[in-house]
Amino acid sequence: METKNIFIVGSNGIPAKYGGFETFVENLTAKKIDKNIKYHVSCLAKDNNEFEYNNARCFNIKVPDIGAAKAEYYDLATLEKVIKYIKENKIENATVYILGTGVGLFIKRYKKKLHKLGAKLYVNPDGLEWKRKKWNFILRKFFKICEKKMAKHADLLICDSSSIEKYIKEEYKKYNPKTKFISYGSNLKIIENEENNSKLKQWYEKNEISKENYYLIVGRFVPENNYETMIKEFIKSKTQKDLVIITNVEENKFYENLKQETKFEKDKRIKFVGTVYDQELLSLIRKNAYAYIHGHEVGGTNPSLLEALSTTNINLLYDIGFNKEVAKQSAKYWNKEENNLSSLINDLENITEEEKQKYGEMAKLRIKEEYNWEKIVSEYETTFQN
């Protein structure tokens, strides 16, 4: 059987340091089953070197520091390099898989070039980037146009959420887009050893936190993750436990507005503790939380939600299609219009250990059956070969 060459465009590259797309590519390459697939992965770098990692050919793309246009420049430079490589190596029947929609304005031209070389163009539309409140009106308009162009021209759109797939099919019905749902993945493995438990103990001591005596939030520090609602509702609640917030908090305009609207600095229970990049430590922090609160309302299958379901017993999720399709009955749901998160927190003070364990078992079963990386990788490989 001939080798199938798959070019992955749009992640920051591997080895993964952070980010959903990077973690996806890390697992896609590391857990590869089909020996007839060869991955070529672009990596954002300060040079143009090549190297092998997870048996994938990784090629660096040197990108100048040009601010907001850096991501688009990176993707376009990558596509140029991919096309040149396919030509020079006379590769037939390749697939170019673009993660995200940022190069949508130029995709028609690149599709023509790829089709001339016998290559297919696949796109992951990500999670409705144009809805993110961090972007100004012009950028949101730009991302919406890019999404539209990708939906129109891609040979296949691979959506990591069935809600995203449904949206694409309805929003761009006139283009009759070809779509496929393949979720994001997660691992159930938690490494508990003396070293990691010691790290956890030190982290608790440093932040004045104790085991199973805190609610946890993990996520990017952006408005669409509903920090304001979660903090306000927690302040209203009667719990004596802490609210531990792991995020890349920056003292910017959003931070100052949040401070003004919530007065969180007056509540000793609320603790912004910065970021935790040690994944094994983060898993233990999640595992030993009393409950996890998830406020994401933009995006598809969110990696931090999958990680929460695979580790934390009780998960309180924002009531939106993306989250409900993932957790189903294994979590509890809150709605900012109804201001009912504080009531859920109060009710949890009386939950039995047996009930907590039951929710935890249901959540882990969801990950095991639907979101394990082996299943996801197998579905991708079948798609690429077909």
pLDDT digits (tens, 9 = 90+) for 97-154: 999 888 889 999 999 999 999 999 999 998 666 566 666 778 788 888 988 999 999 9
Q: At what angle do helices 279-287 and 194-207 cross, to 10 degrees?
A: 70
Pairing of strands 315-318, 291-294: parallel
Q: Say whether 323 sits in a helix, a strand or coil.
A: helix
Name the most confidently modeled range: 57-61, 158-162, 279-283.
57-61
Rounded mean pLDDT, 239-253:
90
Please determine, for residue 252, whether its predicted confidence score (pLDDT) is greater than 80. Answer: no
In sequence order, what DSSP letters do the residues of 101-151 get, joined into one string?
Answer: STTGGGHHHHHHHHHHTT-EEEEE-TT-GGG-TTS-HHHHHHHHHHHHHHH
pLDDT tens per residue, range 332-341: 999 988 889 9
Q: Which stretches of the chain are assigned E, i.e. beta strand?
A: 4-9, 37-45, 50-53, 56-62, 95-99, 120-124, 156-159, 179-181, 214-218, 242-246, 270-272, 291-294, 315-318, 332-334
More confident residue, 66 or 305: 305
pLDDT value, residue 128: 67
- Mean pLDDT within 224-246: 96
CATH superfamily of 4-185+372-385: Glycogen Phosphorylase B; (3.40.50.2000)
What does the pLDDT read at residue 298? 78
| Topology agreement, domain 4-185+372-385 and domain 194-370 | yes
Cα–Cα distance, 299 to 246 (Å, whole number): 19
Radius of gyration over every alpha carbon of the chain, rounded to an integer in angstroms = 22
Higher-scoring residue by pLDDT: 35, 187: 35
- CATH dotted code for 194-370: 3.40.50.2000
Looking at residue 39, its pLDDT comes to 98
Whole-prediction pTM value?
Answer: 0.86
Q: In terms of DSSP bridges, do strands 56-62 and 50-53 run parallel, antiparallel, or are they unpaired?
A: antiparallel
Written as six digits, the tokens of 281 are 């430590």
Q: Transcribe 16-27 into DSSP letters.
A: --SSHHHHHHHH
SS3 at position 242: strand
What percentage of the chain has pLDDT greater than the value 90? Answer: 74
- pLDDT average, residue stretch 365-380: 94
Q: Does an H or E element contain 378, and which?
A: helix 373-385
Q: What is the pLDDT of residue 133?
A: 67
Task: Give domain limits for the chain.
Answer: 4-185+372-385, 194-370
Question: What's the pLDDT tens digit per position in 45-87?
Answer: 999 999 999 999 999 999 988 876 788 899 999 999 999 999 9
Write down the pLDDT at residue 348.
96
In three-state secondary structure terms, 246 is strand
